[in-house]
Chains A and B, each alone.
Chain A
Amino acid sequence: MTSNVAILDVSNIKYTSPGREAVRRLFHHRSAILGMIILGFLLILAIFAKQIAPYDPIQLLRDVDRREPPCIHLLGCAADQPQHLFGIDGNSRDLLSRVIYGSRLSLQVGLSTVSFAILIGGVIGAIAGFVGGWLDDLLMRIMDVLMAFPSLLLAIAIVSFLGTGLINALLAIGIVSIPRFARLVRSTVISVKELEYVVAARSIGANQGRILFGHIIPNSLTPLIVQATLGIATAILDAAALSFLGLGAEPPRPEWGLMLGEERNSIFNAPHLVFFPGVAIMLTVLGFNLLGDGLRDALDPRLRGTAAG
């Protein structure tokens, strides 16, 4: 029995894959755990919004006054009043339901824009880094031009050009995030393409496509994952900002930024209307940032071999 355990230990140390090691690190990273808890909670809210939310988010309630503060039975709200944990919004809709449904939209926004940006940016970066030469110069100068604009300003310009609406806002945010991923992928591709296994693949006659997609890209994913997680946070913030300015989601869609923007005049006379959507945005962005930091610490090669922190 004893020897058995000893053997297992040995094999454990010998054959731990880098991936499993990273996951172990991640689960020992305190802020990453907090981030994952927040995001897990959000994910559950988003998936089961229909079951969790007490009301339809765009249905006008007939039995209440608009802008009523939260009514919580546990905290002394009269029992004959209908319970509204977050209160009633400016159009007599249940604010809690709107915030819950908003999580759906925010996660969709974050994931879709970042996927779009990674797909386009990744391909551009990989080609630029792998092919090099004048193509590299051309693509990267285009990316530099895109990077030169403040991202939100460029997004506003794109939305003004395409017309307002959630889809156009997503497209705009996706476009402004492209250069970040393109540059990242390019730099990792350049550092990976001279490594021995790539040279080995080349020497046995593998074609260019196979080398790029089979060997180089899979091995340059690590920083991309970190950047993507942080990118989601930025995308959600940008989308909220666009909606706040009236350029993104259109009423009556329960989008957090839009909810904030619509009620910015109420900050003094009905603070709950801006407090809850604001907190929701803050928590979501915080969740992605914490997870992103944790991922970076877990995946960063410089930290490999040192104690997980």
Chain B
Amino acid sequence: MKYRWVYALLALFVVASMVIAGCQPAPEATEAPAAQPTAEVVVPPAEPTAVPVVETPAGRNNYVEMKVESPDCEYGGEFKSIETVDEFTVKFTLCYPDADFPSKVAFSVFSIADKEYLDANTGDSVKMSEAPNGTGPYMLKEWVRGDRVIYEANPNYWGTAAAIPNLVFRWSEQSAQRLLELQSGQVDGIDNPAPEDFAAIEGDANLALYPRPALNIFYIGFNHNVAPFDDVKVRQAIAYAIDRQRIVDQYYPEGSQVAKVFVPPALKPGYSDAVDWYPYDPEMAKTLLAEAGQENLEITLSLRNVVRGYLPTPDKVAQEIQAQLAEVGITVNINVMESTAFIDATAAGTEGFYLLGWGADYPGATNFYDYHFAADTNLQFGDLYPDLVEEIRAAGKISDPAARQVHYDKVNQLLKDDVVMIPVAHGASATAFKASIGGAHASPLGNEVMGVLTSDSDQFVWMQSGEPATLWCIDETDGETLRACEQIFEALLSFKVGSTEVEPGLAESYVANDDATEWTFTLRQGVQFHDGALLDASDVVASYAAVWDAASPNHVGRTGNFEYFTAFFNKFLNATE
């Protein structure tokens, strides 16, 4: 024991180093990725506090004149400039006409945040989710990660204040669990009950089912950069081998349709009557496979086992496809992935063959075609097909419906000829609520508005399929996340509850010039953000500039991809590439 003091020192040293390591701030996981084009220009504030400090009393005015402008339209994006005209007027100048512009700005991804608050958080979605500062009928009280999001009603809401003071979002992947919790009264409303349970819900006097129209598409995607799907004959063979009618008959609820093209029939211009998809013909499939020299093909089918309106039973449909393809001699391995990992992998172009779908965000064909086949940040089908991009872009830039339809007919023919994907179904789905809940609805766009509900109780619990990724949705695409944001944030315009019709939101009114290239929005006066700041035109410019201008210090988001922005409005300003 003569070295006792040595051991004591050693022990002390170990303990001390552990204490030091423990007290070290954790590495900033939310820092923008290195690939971020603006990484060099982002100057983090000296004290990166997540919550902006409220210094002035409620109703404070922080209007400044702002204008963000592109020197020309050569950069390839839709916006020419966004500017404040006066405190409550914003003007968007576009590089080319956009007939869907009101629908696009009504979409909740383009919600308006306070300029000061955006600056304080450098537009970082994760930081902004700590204390999201919106104008909506609900404010965030607490987000218990992995368990629930708790909201409380906004007492200063500009419109009709929410009738139910407390709102809770919960989630479960299991449709049986969602239904069980609804039946037992633990939750008051659920999203996407399983089709098999529709009858049970309708038969239960305490519950009510609200069917959601099929404004979506479920498709089987191919990435033509991944072998063997680089061979169009293989893709065609698989298209012939899939019995889409059987999938819809067996796995979809009533009201669903077999898809002929990528958009549902309600979207015109966009839907093409004249284009017929490949019929079910296993013999033809075998012939094509033989021609391609791929008789003993073994492929992997990726999916996420998350129930969405477009796909009520992902694992079952995957097995159905596996069995159907087995009949033509293709061995399919099913690869079930975690939801976010799956979405990121498909968008990054690493999955060759996968099940995915799309629910409309606004009722326009551009919402379907542009995002999937003409956005360079989206590599899910491999490198973009140039002829397809050309037609889609051309259709988006004109406002005459008949002329647009000509382009969309070509798009649909190209999608069929190249077998970019296999459109399978437009799936009907539903929400279910307790019968005692007033104002209950199912939105065709998936944006159920909890602020209009009424109840005997002072709390409403909603259960959906998945947890939101963040609560500031500028860089999100997942419907589960968007719905959680929509309770807090609002956009310039909005969609009528339970409908696809555009109505005034934060803007009371808007006017466009004759060729639909200049849009002027008049904001509502006296709208307060949750922290007390007043809404003004500079907030609108700042919110749009954060995503449009890649050089803006607020151009951070969550992944930094902003898929929706590039899908809706094309290129970023000051993009490095």
Contact = CB atoms under 8 A, between A and B. Distances in A.
Contact of B250 (A66, A264, A265, A268): A66
B323 A250 contact: no
Given A251-B322, A251-B334, A265-B194, A91 B316 contact: yes
B197 interface: yes
B320 A268 contact: no
Contact of B176 (A91, A262, A264): A264
A270 B196 contact: yes
Given A250-B334, A265-B175, A270-B196, A60 B323 contact: yes
Interface in B315-369: 315-316, 318-320, 322-324, 326, 333-334, 336
A278 interface: no
Nearest to A265: B176
A262 B176 CA distance: 12
Interface string A58-87: 111000011100000000000000000000
Contacts of B179: 268
Given A66-B250, A67-B196, A250-B334, A266 B323 contact: no
B200 interface: yes
B322 A252 contact: yes
A267 interface: yes
Interface residues of B, number: 24
Interface in B293-326: 313, 315-316, 318-320, 322-324, 326
A168 B123 CA distance: 45
A90 interface: yes
Contact of A269 (B200, B322, B333, B336): B200
Contacts of A91: 316, 319-320, 323
Contacts of B477: none
A246 B319 CA distance: 14
Contacts of A65: 250
A266 B194 CA distance: 9
Nearest to A251: B319
Contacts of A234: none
B319 A266 contact: no
Nearest to A261: B315
Contacts of B200: 268-269
With most chain B CB atoms within 10 A of its CB, the pick from A250, A251, A267 is: A251
Nearest to A269: B196
Contacts of A58: 323, 326
Contacts of A250: 333-334
With most chain B CB atoms within 10 A of its CB, the pick from A58, A59, A250, A269 is: A269
A222 interface: no
Contacts of B251: 66
A92 interface: yes
Nearest to B194: A265
B174 interface: yes
Interface string A239-271: 000000010001110000000001011111110
A246 B326 CA distance: 22
A: contact size bracket: 20 to 34
Contacts of A90: 313, 316
A73 B427 CA distance: 36
A147 B392 CA distance: 62
A208 B322 CA distance: 56
B323 A252 contact: yes
A66 B318 CA distance: 14
Contacts, number: 49
Contact of A268 (B176, B313, B324): B176
A251 B303 CA distance: 13
A92 B336 contact: no
B196 to A, nearest CB: 5
Contacts of B315: 251, 262
Contacts of A66: 250-251, 316
B464 to A, nearest CB: 16
A266 B312 CA distance: 13
With most chain A CB atoms within 10 A of its CB, the pick from B319, B333, B336 is: B319
Given A67-B196, A265-B194, A269-B200, A252 B250 contact: no
A59 B320 CA distance: 10
A90 B336 CA distance: 17
A59 B197 contact: no
B176 A267 contact: yes
B351 to A, nearest CB: 17
Given A66-B250, A266-B176, A268-B176, A60 B324 contact: yes
With most chain A CB atoms within 10 A of its CB, the pick from B180, B323, B326 is: B323
A48 B180 CA distance: 41
Given A65-B250, A252-B323, A264 B174 contact: yes
Contact of B197 (A60, A92, A251, A269): A269
Interface string A23-62: 0000000000000000000000000000000000011100
A265 B179 CA distance: 10
Nearest to B323: A60
Contacts of B326: 58
Interface string B11-28: 000000000000000000
A203 B337 CA distance: 64
Nearest to B183: A268
B342 to A, nearest CB: 14
A269 B176 CA distance: 9
Nearest to B313: A90
Contacts of A268: 176, 179-180, 200
With most chain A CB atoms within 10 A of its CB, the pick from B251, B316, B322 is: B316
A60 B196 contact: no
B94 to A, nearest CB: 47
A246 to B, nearest CB: 6
Nearest to A91: B319
Contact of A59 (B194, B322, B323): B323
10 contacts: A58-B323, A58-B326, A65-B250, A67-B196, A91-B319, A92-B250, A251-B322, A264-B176, A265-B175, A266-B176
Interface of A: 58-60, 65-67, 90-92, 246, 250-252, 262, 264-270
Given A251-B334, A264-B176, A269-B194, 20 more contacts: A58-B323, A58-B326, A65-B250, A66-B250, A67-B196, A90-B313, A90-B316, A91-B320, A91-B323, A246-B336, A250-B333, A250-B334, A251-B318, A265-B176, A265-B194, A266-B196, A267-B176, A269-B197, A269-B200, A270-B196
